[in-house]
A = this chain, B = another copy of it.
């Protein structure tokens, strides 16, 4: 990471934190406690957390985009706050949906407080996001956030619907379907962060549309990077069990690409997945077969292509935004 980018992320977190704390202070005390836990500020018992919260990549995208069109970082804060809260909402609900017990080396919210309270915590974070952006009175920014929300939910629904599809055959999930899902599930909020930043910073609707597309492309690459980490990521870094996505039988890109490649390893992988094995040895074998069939390499290449497309689009619309460019690279550079 460049030192200028490190500085920027620190600066954005310093701008964001008071706004986040002020928003959470508007919740019922118990709801506020759960929100504070979900944001990484406290442990489940309310004591201050040792670990850091999120990296605030989406808020940084919003702030850098506002600055790139001549706005001030302060103008971008309500947008940065809203996208961070929507991101936090989606993680809390995702962990319920995916039965994930761990997030960032700690219990997920439902594991710590129960499913009902976690549903409410997610709802509270989303309500605050909407409320704080609505308070700006900026209609176009609000409309972008709301459209991203619909897309995000549709992407999550599609991802869940993939679980009932077969691994192989006519009804298998195609790579194109996967990319469209990732653009919705992950790209919508990144695109929104960028577009809302431009909008609040005083940029034109055309500029907002352009950076929105940049964010969507990055989102696909970001999701693929997540998929790679979900199989080969170091649990000490990811905070999740090793091979977690394989154990859950998730239809992630490396697996889909491996199966689509055909050949001996792909055939063995299909047999293994069809058997529904989730034990330590079968998932280790599956990871090896995905790599042999070329699924890992293909996923890395596709992520690189999507990042290159995003950067080309960014250079075309905001050629002098070098820190923004560095941020875009960082978003997906977690797998090397």
Contact = CB atoms under 8 A, between A and B. Distances in A.
Interface of A: 26-28, 30-31, 93, 96-99, 115-117, 119-120, 122-124, 126-128, 130-131, 134-135, 137-139, 142-143, 145-147, 149-150, 152-154, 156-158, 160-161
A163 to B, nearest CB: 10
Contacts of A161: 28, 30
B154 A28 contact: yes
B31 A117 contact: no
Contact of A153 (B115, B120, B134): B120
B27 A117 contact: no
A120 B157 contact: yes
A96 B119 contact: yes
Contact of A149 (B130, B154, B156): B130
A123 B30 contact: no
Contacts of A31: 153-154, 157
Nearest to A137: B139
Task: Give the secondary structure class of A's interface.
Answer: helix
B98 A116 contact: yes
A320 to B, nearest CB: 32
A124 B152 CA distance: 9
Given A116-B98, A116-B160, A160-B116, A135 B143 contact: yes
A157 to B, nearest CB: 4
B127 A153 contact: yes
4 smallest CB-CB distances across A and B, nearest first, come from A97-B116, A131-B146, A127-B149, A31-B157
Contacts of A142: 134, 139, 142
Contacts of A115: 96, 115
A82 to B, nearest CB: 10
Given A115-B115, A116-B97, A116-B98, A143 B150 contact: no
Given A30-B161, A117-B160, A134-B142, A124 B96 contact: no
